[in-house]
Amino acid sequence: MELNLEGRVALVGGGTAGLGLAVGQALAGEGVHVALAGRRRELAEQEASAFSRGIGVEMDVRDAKSIARAIERVGNDLGPPDILILNSGGPPPSRAIELDRESLETAGDLLLYGPLQLVNSCLPAMRDRSWGRIVAIGSTSVQAPIPILASSSIFRAAVASYLKLLAEDVAAEGITVNMVHPGRLATDRTIEIDRARAQQSKTSIEEVRAAAGRLIPLGRYGSPEEFAALVTFLCSDGARYITGEQIRVDGGLVRSM
């Protein structure tokens, strides 16, 4: 299948590691001009140097000025983004009973308010060109809240509602908006969560991972590359009739429809 992404410009949040980096690499492989964004500028530049045309930009989604500088840099060096990948690290593991206003405000800046500013910064150019792709990397906690990730579950669900409404607002303008939920994928974030579960259950991380694998119908953790393949397709012309959707990449783990 021809994805017809050659020459498009993508801004990939959280692009220095894990799923963000895997998505950036997959898009670059299709000829997209990729800006990898992350809080560590040198690392972003190092990873982007492997692309035929790509840049690394410093961006902290919790900082409005940092977002504005990153958008300006991408526009000057590559052009306005046609593709926006909403992605950031998650807040520390926590249970609902442990939450307070301060921890929720911190999670909100990371998962909701920063991504909202990113969308608002990129939408005008997408609307002018009548073409755009917004794909958010979410979590299966949107559909099945994870007790140990209470603040993440709360705000990712809020983002899902926002994106569903946004998809309807911009659909007639050639802009699609979707959300992809990773399940148990082999990333540093998953290791962090597994370690928290091991501490809570007073078992080893190996036992936690083995037990998790037994719950996944496919019997294993997924890879970032398997996840990135779907995100890349959603950015293509072949997915132009797919919008407002939430799609899981979890090996069949979550059993809700």
Tens-place pLDDT, residues 133-160: 999 999 988 988 989 899 999 999 999 9
Strand, coil or helix: what is 149?
strand
Identify whether the C-beta of residue 231 lies closer than 8 Å to the C-beta of residue 85.
yes
Token couple for 12:
């990939």
How many CB atoms within 10 Å of residue 28?
21
- Convert the pLDDT of each residue in 15-32 to its tens digit: 999 999 999 999 999 999
Closest CA to 137 of 94, 83, 97: 83
Predicted pLDDT of residue 196: 81
**166 and 147 in one domain?**
yes
Are 209 and 144 within one domain? Answer: no
pLDDT tens digit string along 192-211?
A: 778 888 888 888 888 888 88
Give domain status of residue 253, yes or no: no
Q: Is the same domain home to 48 and 154? A: yes
pLDDT digits (tens, 9 = 90+) for 34-84: 999 999 999 999 999 999 899 999 999 999 999 999 999 999 999 999 999
Query: Residue 257 has what pLDDT?
Result: 62
Q: Are residues 201 and 80 in the same domain?
A: no
Question: 71 phi and psi, to 5 degrees?
Answer: -60, -40
Residue 143 and residue 199 in one domain = no
Radius of gyration of the chain (CA): 18
Whether residues 102 and 58 fall in one domain: yes
What's the pLDDT score for residue 197? 82
For the chain, how far is it from start to end, CA to CA, in angstroms? Answer: 28
Predicted pLDDT of residue 71: 97
- 120 with 194, same domain: the answer is no
Residue 131 domain boundaries = 9-183+223-247
pLDDT number for residue 101: 95
Give yes or no: residues 150 and 130 share one domain.
yes
Residues 125 and 190 grouped into a single domain: no
Query: How many domains is the chain partitioned into structurally?
Result: 2
Q: Is residue 203 part of a domain?
A: yes
256 located within any domain: no
206 contact partners, CB below 8 Å, separation of at least 6: none
CATH code of the domain containing 139 = 3.40.50.720
Residue 35 sits in the same domain as residue 52: yes
Domain membership of residue 257 (yes or no) is: no
Whether residue 86 is contained in a domain is answered as: yes
Count CB-CB contacts under 10 A for residue 223: 14
Residue 234 lies in a domain: yes
Instruction: Point out which residues pair with 247 in neighbouring strands.
Output: 180
Same domain for 26 and 152? yes
Q: Are both 131 and 215 inside the same structural domain?
A: no
Question: pTM of the entire structure?
Answer: 0.92
DSSP state of 92: P
Q: Tell me, what's the pLDDT at 213?
A: 80
**Separation CA 256–CA 13 (nearest Å):** 28
pLDDT tens across 232-257, in order?
Answer: 999 999 999 999 999 999 999 887 66
